[in-house]
C-alpha cells in the first residue's frame, strides 16, 4: 500500500495500527475465568457470527476468543455462511456481524464512498427479523469497514462515520473509556447483576465514531479526538478532511421493535489477538482491557434478555 500519513506521533500510531492489522492472529491461550456461566454447556441461545460477507473477523481466526468466551458461558456459537434472509436468521437468537466487507480486495482498492457489504434485501431481512424479536450486534471498525456496514446501521437510524477516530494529543496512550469520566455510561450492561459483574473501564483500539439519536450511549468519545476522513484507508495528508467528534459514540444499544440491537465502532475490543512481529496483545488480552470480557458477556446477556 502507498500509505501517506500526517506528521508527528499521530503518524506513528496510525502506521503501527496499519502494520499490526496485517499481522493479527488469535491468542488461543486467552481464557478468562467465568465465575458463574449463564447456561449449562451448549444449552444457551444460538449466537450466529456472520462469515458470509468477506468478514475480517471469523470464529476460526481473529474472533476465536469471542466464540470461545461465549461457549464457555453456555451459548451455542455457530458461523453464518448464508446471505441474510428469513430462513437463515430463523435459527439465531443473536446475529453478530463484525467487520463485513464488500469483497476480498485490499482496503485501498475499494471505491469511495465504500460500497455496502449487504444487499438491500439482506438489510430489509435483518431489520424485519430484529423487529420481530431478534437481537443484532453490529460491529464496524474504521474505514472502510464502517462504510461497508453504514447502510445496515442506517436502517436503525445509526450513522456510522467511514473514517478513523483518532486522539489529537501526542503520545500513544490507550483509548480507555471510564465510568468515573462518564465516557463509559451507566447502564445495566455496565453495572451487571452484582459487583463481580460490574465494569469500570473498557479499552478500545482506534476504530470509528458514530451518531445514534435513538440509542442509549455506552462508549462516548471525549474531548481531544478528531475524525479523520480520508478517501482511501490509511492514506492521510494535509488535505484529509477532519471533523469534530466529541460526544459521538463508539458503543450504543437500543430497543428495535420487539428486538434489541447493539452498535460498536471498534472490533478488537471483543477479540483477543496477537499483533505484529512482536505478538503484542490486542483486545481483551491487552493491558487496560482486563474487564472487556465481562462487558462482552454482559452485552450478550442484555441482548438475550437475561440481564
User: Is residue 26 situated within a structural domain?
Assistant: yes
Residue 25 lies in a domain: yes
Residue 4 inside a domain? The answer is: no
pLDDT, one tens digit per residue, over 115-131 is 999 999 999 999 999 99
Nearest to 202 by CA among 179, 222, 229: 179
Model pLDDT for residues 214-228, shown as the tens digit of each residue: 999 999 999 999 999
- Give residue 8's pLDDT: 43
Structural domain for 187, as ranges: 9-30+38-303
CA quadruple 101, 287, 78, 189: dihedral, nearest 10:
-100
> What's the pLDDT at 136?
99
Cell numbers placing 85: 434472509
Q: Would you say the pTM of this structure is higher than 0.85?
A: yes
Confidence of residue 284 (pLDDT cuts 50, 70, 90): very high
CATH number, domain of 183, equals: 3.40.50.880
Task: Find the mean pLDDT for residues 225-242.
Answer: 94
Domain count, the chain: 1
- In angstroms, the first-to-last Cα distance of the chain is 45
Q: Which grid coordinates are listed for 47?
A: 449466537
Residue 3 within any structural domain of the chain: no
Residue 272: inside a domain: yes
Q: Is residue 174 part of a domain?
A: yes
- Range list of β-strands (E), 51-130: 76-80, 94-98
Q: Which cell is 11 given?
A: 503518524
Residue 258 lies in a domain: yes
β-pairing, 159-160 vs 216-220, is: unpaired
Residue 2: inside a domain:
no
- Please compute the mean of the pLDDT values over residues 180-199 and round it to a whole number: 97
Query: What backbone torsions phi and psi does residue 114 show, to the nearest 5 degrees?
Result: -65, 130
Return left, alpha or beta for 288; rule: phi > 0 is left, psi -120 to 50 is alpha, else beta.
left
Q: Cell triple for residue 118?
A: 449487504
CA distance 199 to 201: 6
CB 138, CB 153: distance < 8 Å? yes
The predicted-structure confidence for 31-56, as pLDDT tens digits, reads as follows: 999 999 999 999 999 999 999 999 99
Amino acid at each position: 500500500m502507498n500509505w501517506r500519513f500526517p506528521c508527528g506521533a499521530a503518524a506513528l500510531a496510525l502506521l503501527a495500527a496499519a502494520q499490526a492489522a496485517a499481522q493479527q492472529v488469535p491468542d488461543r491461550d486467552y481464557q478468562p475465568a467465568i465465575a458463574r456461566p449463564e447456561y449449562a454447556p451448549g444449552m444457551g441461545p444460538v449466537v450466529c457470527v456472520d462469515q458470509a460477507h468477506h468478514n475480517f473477523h471469523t470464529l476460526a481466526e481473529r474472533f476465536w476468543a469471542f466464540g470461545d468466551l461465549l461457549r464457555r458461558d453456555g451459548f451455542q456459537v455457530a458461523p453464518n455462511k448464508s446471505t441474510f434472509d428469513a430462513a437463515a436468521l430463523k435459527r439465531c437468537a443473536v446475529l453478530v456481524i463484525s467487520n463485513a466487507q464488500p469483497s476480498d480486495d485490499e482496503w485501498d482498492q475499494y471505491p469511495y464512498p465504500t460500497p455496502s457489504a449487504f444487499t438491500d434485501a439482506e438489510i430489509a431481512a435483518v431489520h424485519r427479523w430484529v423487529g420481530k424479536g431478534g437481537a443484532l450486534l453490529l460491529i464496524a471498525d474504521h474505514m472502510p469497514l464502517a462504510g461497508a456496514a453504514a447502510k445496515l446501521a442506517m436502517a436503525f437510524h445509526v450513522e456510522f462515520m467511514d473514517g478513523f477516530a483518532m486522539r489529537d494529543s501526542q503520545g500513544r496512550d490507550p483509548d480507555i473509556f471510564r465510568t468515573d469520566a462518564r465516557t463509559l455510561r451507566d447502564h445495566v450492561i455496565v453495572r451487571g447483576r452484582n459487583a463481580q459483574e460490574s465494569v469500570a473501564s473498557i479499552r478500545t483500539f482506534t476504530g470509528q465514531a458514530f451518531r445514534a439519536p435513538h440509542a442509549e450511549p455506552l462508549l462516548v468519545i471525549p474531548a481531544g479526538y478528531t475524525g479523520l476522513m480520508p478517501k482511501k484507508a490509511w492514506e492521510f495528508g494535509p488535505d484529509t478532511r477532519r471533523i469534530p467528534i466529541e460526544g459521538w459514540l463508539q458503543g450504543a444499544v437500543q430497543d428495535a421493535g420487539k428486538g434489541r440491537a447493539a452498535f460498536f465502532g471498534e472490533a478488537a475490543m471483543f477479540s483477543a489477538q496477537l499483533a505484529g512481529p512482536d505478538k503484542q496483545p490486542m483486545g481483551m488480552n491487552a493491558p487496560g482491557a482486563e474487564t472487556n470480557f465481562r462487558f462482552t458477556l454482559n452485552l450478550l446477556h442484555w441482548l438475550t434478555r437475561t440481564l
